[in-house]
Structure formats: C-alpha cells, structure tokens
Amino acid sequence: MSELQDIQTTENSTENTEDFPKYINRERSLLEFNRRVLAQANNPEIPLLERVKYLCISSSNMDEFFEVRLASLMELAKDPNALTQPDEQPAGMVVECLLEATHEIVEEQYHTLNNILIPALEKENIRFVRRNHWTEQNREWISKFFIEQLQPVLSPVGLDPSHPFPKVLNKTLNFIVSLEGKDAFGRSNGLAIVPVPRSLPRLVKLPTEATEGENDFVFLSSILHANVSRLFPGMTVTGCYQFRVTRNTNLFIDEEEVDDLLSALRGELSGRQYGGAIRLEVADNCPQHLIDYLLDRFKLPKESLYKVNGPVNLHRLDAVPGMANRPELLFAPYTQKLLTAKKRPSKNAFKIFTRHKEPEKLFDKIKQKDILLHHPYDSFTPVIDFLKEASTDPDVLAIRMTLYRTGENSEIIKALEKAAQNGKEVTAVVELRARFDEDNNILQATRLQDAGVHVVYGVVGYKTHAKMILVLRREDDRIRYYTHMGTGNYHHITTRFYSDFGLLTANPIIGRDASKIFQQLTSLGDTKDLETVLQSPFTLKSGMIAKIEREAENARQGKSARIIAKMNGLEEQGIIDALYNASQAGVKIDLIVRGICSLRPGIPGLSENITVTSIIGRFLEHHRIYYFENNGGKPELFCSSADWMRRNLLARVETCFPILDDACFQQVYTEGLAMYLQDNTGAWILQADGSYVAKQPHGEKPYNAQALLIEKYSR
C-alpha cells in the first residue's frame, strides 16, 4: 500500500490520531471546502432558490479546481520526484487521490440536482421540462425558437480531411453527432461537432403561449437534441451527445524576461482558452466508442472522464433564481447601511452600535476618529465618496491606490480619472495578474493611463495584493495623511456579498507606513522600516510568528495566552509549526478558516489546544483578522489583506495593519471573531482526520453570526 493510500485509510478513522501526518494536503482541504458548499444545496433550512445557487457555486468552484489547482499538480507530477507542500507527498499519488475525490463530488452534485432540487422545485411549480414530457404546444414553440434563434448562429463542423477536429474552447458546451448518409457533396462524414456559442442561453423559459406553467424551463441541450437533424439536411442523425472540456488556464510568463508585462500578458491571455485538457465531461448515455474518440482527441486518460446525468455545466443554472421571479424562495433582501461613523460602544461586546450626526465633510469625520466599515453590512459607498471628495477637494495634493480587482464600470476608476483631470498627482498600482480579472485590469490600466494617471504594475515576481488608498492633503501648512486599508478588494459587486473590514483613518503612523509602501512599489527602493504595519514579503510572516511565540512564552510562564485568527486559508508551514508549538505550550487557539486548512487540530501532544471552524453562510467570509491576547495587558488586533498562505506571506505584497482605535478594536473583535465562535448553525468543525462536521445547537439556542449581524445593522 502506498504512503498516500495509507494516509487515506488512516484518515477514515478518528482513532489513533497520533499517527496522523502533521499536515493536511492543500488540495484535499480545498475539495473538503467544496463539499461544505455543496452541503448547503442539500440543507432544507435554506430557501430553495438559494440552494440552487449553492449548487452552482460548487460547480464553479470545481471548474476552478480543475483548471488551476489540479492543472498545476499535473504539471508538478511530471517530475517523479516532486512533492506537494506542506504535506510532502508524491505529486503523482496526490493527483490519483484527488481524481477519485472529484468523481465523488461530481456524482453528488448531479444526485443533488436530480433527486433533491428538481423534485423540490417541481413542488413549487418550477419545472425543467424534459423532451419526453413536451406537449405539442411546447414542441411547436421550441421548433420555431430553434429555427429563428439558434440555427442561424450554430456552425456545425463535419469531420473529414478538410474539416479536422475543431479547437474546442475551455468550458464551452459542444455536441458530438453521429451521422449516416451523404451530404450535399456526396461525402460520408460519419461524425460532426456542434460548438455552442457562449452567447446563447443554456436555459430557456417557455413563454405563456407555449405552456400552461408560469415557470417552465427547457435546457438548450434538449432543444438542440430535438432539432439537430435540421443542421444536417439529407443525412440521418443517429446520435447526439453533449460534452465539455476543462483546460489548464494557468498563465506562464517569465516576468524577468519580458520588457512590457502588459503586452506579454495580452499575448498569453489569448491562448488561455486552449490550454492542455484536464477534464472531459460527457452525457452519461454517450456510446463508449465516441467517448474513446473524444478522450483520444483531447489526450486524456479514462480517469479524467466524467459522465453526467444533466447539463454539463451546472453553473449555468444560476439563471434560474432570477428568471423564476419567486422572491419568497430567496433570502430576504438586505439593504446595506449607508453610514460613515458610529458612536463608541460600551464595554458590552454585543451592544448595538447607534448612529448619530457627524461633520459633513468626510475628511473632518476621519480626522475626528477612525471609521470602521464592515461590509457587506455597511455600504461600500463611503469608500467611493472618500475618493470622489479627494478628486475635487482643492487641498488634496495626491492620491495613491492599489487595484487588484475593481469590476467593470467602476466608480473607483471614474474617481481616479476625475482626480487626474483636476490636476491631482494620482498613482495607481494595478495588479495585471489577478486571476481571471486580467482582461479587465488591462482595460482599466489603459483607461487610467489615458486620463493622466501614473500607472505601475507592481513588482516583478510578486503580486500586489494589498488593499490601500492614501490621500495627501494640505492642512494648515502641513501635509496630513488620510488612509484606507482593507481586507477585501475595491470591487463594488463583491462588497455586497463578501464579509470584509475597511478602515478609514487619519492616524499619521499608518499614513506614513502606507506612504513608504507606495514609494517602494513605484520606485522599487528598499523601504522596510515601517512603524506599525506589517508587510509581505518582508515582515508579515516573521511578525506573526513572533507574536505566536510570545503567546507561547506567556503560557509557559503561567500568564494569560490566547490566539484567535480568522482567514480564508492556512497552509504556510512556518505559521502552522509555530501554532503547534504554542498549542503544546498551553495556548488556547481558535482558528476560523473558511477554505483551505493544512493544520491538523486535535492531535494529542501536538494540537489538542487548537480548534478550526469554517463558516459557510449567505455571505462569503473574507475577513483576515489576527488577535493576540498579549497577557491581557494590551491585546493586539490586526486586519490584513493576507491569509496565512505561503503565496500571501512570501510571494505577494500584502499589508497587515493594527486596529488602534478602542471603538474599532471592540467592533472588529466582536463582529469579526467573538460572534463567529458562538455560531452553531453555519459552522463546520475540522476533525483530526481532515473531515468536517457541521456544528449543531444541541439544546442551545440557534446562533447564526451572519443573520445576527444583518439584524443588528438593520436596526
């Protein structure tokens, strides 16, 4: 039995925990996260159409897993001696293990769709009408729809020497069609491929004249199956089967060998849709000889084949909630609070914060006291207003900003353009390599340059992932720093669904540190003497480890010691080892890790004082918060753009900033940490074997942190 197989066998038991390896495989942990997302689609306590969304999210997550993570591992496995990190397992064996797990998850996705969600939707009169249930009324409308709306944009490709197998785009819907007879030129092709443009809907809602149901849908694949013979007049269609191929979408650019990163990236992006094939999805009724033909064409082994009973791209079902128009089957709508300041709370950690009138000018509000924004409960508008006000304020001299993801038609971009047009010195550090946002970031960078903004692309070899805005304003013959630092992106869409903290402050210490970091990014000078902000790749990892070790030393001396940390992912070996050592010293450690976690909790003599909780809820948990008790004298609390991942700590420019204002400290601790540790309805607890168990109230009152925060901010 291989070492990896032995690990799998061991991890199926909660006994003999001391025999578990120290680290959980990163990709295996990521698949466990996708299982938790999929579990939401099976949760009857969640509104039905929201459960459909969770199924779609799990499908999208799996797509990215194949095209990024599994693709990278397959490249690594070409070296027979390559080991994964931090668990140090042979890459080839890990790939085998993961392929087995992905088949299980995909099978569970289609079971959830066909056996749970579709029957539940039918009870709500939301139906996916199969071809064998079409009425004559359905057929007439569908036939007309195909002739008028689909046939003109479809380009079937008959396979012969002059029509070789076409290039199949990544994750597009295609059909392989078997034929008999001769075409108009007397050729006997035998096979054809029908690519379906992405512009076509994968789900069509039948209008009132075509059906008696209010929410009757047909899959595009069903429409094409029923009418495919129209594409091959004079020939007989003997079979038509959908398929989709997932490709490697990793970009390979040697940044040190290119003169212009933007131009090089543009060239690489054009080929992303045609990377090496990683996965083949086919209809489960496709004949074996056609499956073998496709596997051969895409140079894939049979382990990379996924037979599916339903549409090959479940993510496209995300159109259903909007098209069905059944708001009672969705989460109750929540309106973000438009506020920029809060009264200081009492010492009661759970006291409701109240609002009161503040100075009209945003700069005066920030100068009066720090402003903490908790998204998505607080609106992102104050951040946009901050930039808009800076763009027109005659006393503002300069604006500097990092941009990782911004979205299309961004008010942020418009404000920076306006500032440059008004004569401000505007610098934007645009990260062109933000995965899957490269095209948009290139577009925004070009747009900013055209407006007169000084655009730089960060540092060769290091993604700029920090979230910072610095405004320099002349006041009373001196320059004052106004800074925004956050845990999430400057993206107006994701701020409605991602939980993040953003700090607006006039604290000169933070402002000076931000200024030094921007100078470092633009001039490439050596600026490591920051006063209070920790920065990757220089001081963040060592700073976090030092604080963990301080807690461990306090515990050894019998002093108060506690660590609470919340993040998206944890797999950096140095951090994990420091946490293990702190646990052995007696430090109580509570980790809230949404996704990847390579630390293994609950191992006697290693990590018995560590708990790991994952929160899966209505909003995507995106905070990065690090709390150190520091013997109770002066606890320290940091927010950060960085997870405790190797890439964040060693291969990116990140910031980790202290929360210095007492009121903001109390709010971050309460709303970002304490409430989540009490959650017993959306929490999953990581077990020593690497699996997760849903936390249950067990006689306690149900406590859902996100729901309580919505209630709190709605008052």
How far apart (Å, rounded) are the C-alpha atoms in residues 165 and 297? 8
Spatial contact of 200 and 153, defined as CB atoms under 8 Å apart: yes
Phi-psi region of 624 (alpha: psi -120 to 50; beta: other; left: phi over 0): beta
Spans of the chain, pLDDT less than 50: 1-15, 253-261, 264-265, 267-269, 340-356
Please give the Cα distance from 539 to 653 (Å, whole number).
Answer: 11
Q: What whole-number distance in Å separates Cα of residue 220 and Cα of residue 352?
A: 50
Task: With CA atoms as reference, report the closest residue to 51 among 40, 65, 36, 37.
Answer: 40
Question: Which DSSP letter does residue 381 get?
Answer: H
Which residues does 445 contact at the CB level (< 8 Å), separation at least 6?
262, 428, 430, 432, 455, 457
pLDDT of residue 539: 96
Which secondary structure element, helix H or strand E, spans residue 372, and what is its range? strand 371-375
The 10 Å Cβ neighbour count of residue 481 is 19
Helix (H) or strand (E) holding 92: helix 91-111
Lookup result for tokens 């038991």: 13
Tell whether residue 498 is among the known ligand binding residues.
Answer: yes
Domains and CATH numbers, the chain: 3-109 (1.20.58.310), 130-320 (3.30.1840.10), 362-528 (3.30.870.10), 536-714 (3.30.870.10)
Collect all residues with Cβ–Cβ distance below 8 Å to 503 and sequence separation of at least 6. 370, 371, 372, 373, 483, 484, 485, 486, 639, 657, 659, 664
The burial of 293, by beta-carbon neighbours within 10 Å (0-12 exposed, 13-18 middle, 19 or more buried), is given as middle
User: Contact, 614 vs 679, CB < 8 A?
Assistant: no
Beta carbons of 481 and 508 less than 8 angstroms apart:
yes
Could you tell me the strand order of the sheet in which 126-128 lies?
126-128, 215-219, 203-205
User: Is 405 marked within a binding site?
Assistant: yes
Are the beta carbons of 374 and 501 closer than 8 angstroms?
yes
Q: Which residues pair with 127 in a beta bridge?
A: 216
Residue 254: its pLDDT value, please? Answer: 45
Q: Verify whether residue 111 is a known catalytic residue.
A: no
Q: Is 127 annotated as a binding residue?
A: no
Q: Specify whether the CB–CB gap between 531 and 513 falls below 8 A.
A: yes
Name the pairing type of β-strands 625-628 and 636-640. Answer: antiparallel
Catalytic, out of 225, 375, 465, 623: 465
pLDDT of amino acid 699: 85
Query: Can you list the positions of beta strands (E) in 137-250?
Result: 157-158, 174-180, 191-195, 203-205, 215-219, 236-247
CB proximity list for 257: less than 8 A, separation 6 or greater: none
715 burial via Cβ count (<10 Å: 0-12, 13-18, 19+): exposed
Burial of 581 from C-beta contacts in 10 A (0-12 / 13-18 / 19+): middle
Does the predicted TM-score (pTM) go above 0.85? yes
Q: Say how many C-beta atoms besides its own lie within 10 A of residue 701's C-beta.
A: 6
Q: Cα(507)–Cα(366) distance, rounded to whole angstroms?
A: 9
How crowded is residue 260: how many other Cβ atoms within 10 Å of its Cβ? 9
**Secondary element (H or E) of residue 554:** helix 540-556
Task: Give the Cβ contact number of residue 130 at 10 Å.
Answer: 11
CB 678 within 8 A of CB 671: no
Residue 131 labeled ligand binder: no
CA 383 vs CA 386, 467, 468, 619: distances in Å: 5, 12, 11, 20
Tell which residue, 646, 278, 272, 649, has the closest CA to residue 433.
Answer: 272
Cα angle 510-515-517, degrees, rounded to a multiple of 5? 95
> Residue 493: what pLDDT?
87
**In the structure encoding, which two tokens stand for residue 364, read together?**
């005066």
Asked if residues 429 and 439 have their Cβ atoms less than 8 Å apart, the reply is: no
Burial class (CB in 10 A: 0-12, 13-18, 19+), 198: exposed
Task: Report d(CA 612, CA 591) in Å as an integer.
Answer: 5
